[in-house]
Amino acid sequence: MANKVLWLPESGATIMSTELNALADAASAVDGADYDNATNKYMFASYLLYLIDFAAAPTAGGYFELHHMYKVDGTNYGDNEDGDVANVQPSSSTLVGIFPVRAADEDQYIQLMNIPLLPFAFRHVLTNKCGQALTAVDTNLLKIYPHSPELQ
């Protein structure tokens, strides 16, 4: 009989970097590859969004949306697109979390913790709602830290 629940983490991985270069306000960036949770089967993920440079200070109350575009049937993403989700259409049904940003043009590390994951492949989509574009630098990034409970 199990008497302990432990956290079994996976190493963090950068899932978006160059995709965030020059991301305009009200625009979305799509991860270049599927995250294959159909194989990994992690139950949760925590995220770190590292923003190093904006065109100017973000608007007060600004944020970034994180969406998961699942391929439940193995073919079509959550917005009825196939292939690379080139014309991504994020919606309230794909929204999994919000990264609030400070109204300051300075480095920002923003965490989003314990987002449930489904056992399907999906793409990450990040939508800029902060009132300013990101600059074209390779240091803005989104990292994933998948994890599951382990019974002992």
How distant is the alpha carbon of residue 63 from its chain centre? 13
Q: What is the dihedral of CA 111, 11, 39, 28, to 10 degrees?
A: 40
Domain locations in the chain as residue ranges? 5-151
What is the 8-class DSSP label of residue 87? T
What is the 8-class DSSP label of residue 54? B
Q: Which CATH architecture has domain 5-151?
A: Sandwich (2.60)
pLDDT of residue 139: 86
How close are the terminal C-alpha atoms of the chain, in Å? 8
Claim: this prediction has a pTM higher than 0.75: yes
* Greatest C-alpha distance within the chain: 56
Mean pLDDT (the chain) is 89
pLDDT of residue 83: 64
